[in-house]
Amino acid sequence: MDERQISEIAKRLRGSRSVLFITGAGISADSGLPTYRGIGGLYEQEETDDGIPIEAALSGAMFQRDPALTWKYIHQIESSCRDAGPNRAHHVIAELEQRFDRVWTLTQNVDGLHHAAGSAQVIDIHGDVHRLLCTHCGHRWRVRSYVGLDIPPACPECASLVRPEVVLFGEMLPLDRARILQEQLMRGFDAVFSIGTTSVFPYIAEPVVDARRRGALTVEINPGTSEVSHLVNHRLRTGAAAAMDAVVRALDRA
């Protein structure tokens, strides 16, 4: 761990009032979740067991054509998340909501671990596998797991087809979350952290680009290289849990 960088980050944070955390699959790696391919990671191979790319299996078009096949892979994603709990990085972010005037977390993950850690200001831009929606009557509910559910499940109100409230490939981002993100970005942030994401989507990279342009603190926590690695003030090439723990301990020493 680069103690000099940690100290500099903590020093800048102490003068900050607002922080944005942008998280990807890498933040959940210390919770035992995979970080490769698919929604929230899962698939290392180019094709699924059904002989099609995972992007096709988990697409909106496939759900319309063959919902059972899409649900098969959604179910695998939920199964991988089922026994996972928040790690130190999730908990630190939740704790920091209480220490700054305004803290938001923009996450691409659908595992729900930020909510489980206690974060309240979360923009889960790709949804959450634990939230279900009836495609006919609009009934919504939340489940702790898919254990006991028929796959695909039927709506308990009208017995129609249900889908998880996640953004499938080829679908638009949810308007309500996109609106909240835009409103918060317009207000600006004193510090922006990019944690465990390759930042390939423009709406994930742009907050870092804008923060750097405005002179805000920018930090990347990622063992690898991303689309924003060359832009940030500080790069911590390590796991999210260790890095966030080091940052908050340095902040406590103030």
CATH code of the domain covering residue 61: 3.30.1600.10
Q: Where are the beta strands (DSSP E) in the chain?
A: 18-23, 102-107, 122-124, 127-134, 140-142, 162-166, 191-195, 217-221, 234-236
More confident residue, 107 or 45: 107
The pLDDT of residue 54 is above 90? no
The stretch 141-151 carries a mean pLDDT of: 93
112 assigned to some structural domain: yes
Catalytic residues: 126
Q: How far apart are CA 153 and CA 68, in angstroms?
A: 9
The pLDDT of residue 42 is above 90? no
Q: How far apart are CA 107 and CA 130, in angstroms?
A: 15
Which domain CATH number covers 220? 3.40.50.1220
Phi, psi angle pair for 235, to nearest 5°: -120, 125
Q: Which range of residues forms the domain containing residue 96?
A: 3-32+85-126+172-252
Residue 158 shares a structural domain with residue 223 = no
42 assigned to some structural domain: no
Residue 148 shares a structural domain with residue 248 = no
46 assigned to some structural domain: no
Structure tokens at 145: 């797991």
Which pLDDT band holds residue 253 (cuts at 50, 70, 90)?
confident
* Predicted local distance difference test score (pLDDT) of residue 190: 98
Please tell me the pTM assigned to this model. 0.93
